[in-house]
Amino acid sequence: MINKAHIYGLFAVLFLLSACAGHKEKPVEEIFVTQIREDDSKMFAFTLKSERAGRGDKARNKTAAKPGKARKGGRQKGTGKAEGRERENPLAGIVQQRLEQRLSENGYCSAGYIELERYATRGGMTVRGECHDSATANDRQRFPNQMNGEI
């Protein structure tokens, strides 16, 4: 026989399931902008935007790269946290992973890159970098400059 406790328990489970079913993850937008300069240096800016990212960050957290510490795949050792005072942005790991994936797919920085700057805003995170390799004629065709100013 069904008693009141079973009915209330069933309603509680149904309520929780309906609440979870209504939750949708906000999409993350990727923006990859390239710039090939007159001297054939290849620059890029990669931005990941999410409404949920960095809600508590009111100011823009900026970390400039230190020269001479670049790795082939990207981010430099010793960047990311300034003396341990900055909070880690929840997008930091995702940005690095998606950037590496994007660069391996499109071949823009075939010899790796140096990270020039990484900064977080209320809704996302941006990484600016410069490729180790110089631009070829094929690069100029595949990656036309998308803006007139500097990245």
pLDDT tens digits along 103-112: 999 999 999 9
Q: Given this model, what pLDDT does residue 12 score?
A: 57
Higher per-residue confidence, 78 vs 27: 27
Tokens of 55: 């809600």
Higher per-residue confidence, 25 vs 151: 151
Sorted by where each begins, the domain ranges of the chain are 25-142
Contacts (Cβ under 8 Å, ≥6 apart) of 145: 34, 35, 36
Whether the full predicted model's pTM is greater than 0.95, yes or no, is no
How many other C-beta atoms lie within 10 A of the C-beta of residue 78? Answer: 10
Tokens of 66: 């230190």
At residue 46, φ and ψ (nearest 5 deg) are -120, 125
pLDDT tens string 21-42: 555 666 889 999 999 999 999 9
Q: Given this model, what pLDDT does residue 60 score?
A: 45
DSSP-derived secondary structure for 89-109: PTTHHHHHHHHHHHHHHH-TT
Identity of the residue numbered 90: P
Q: Given this model, what pLDDT does residue 50 score?
A: 81
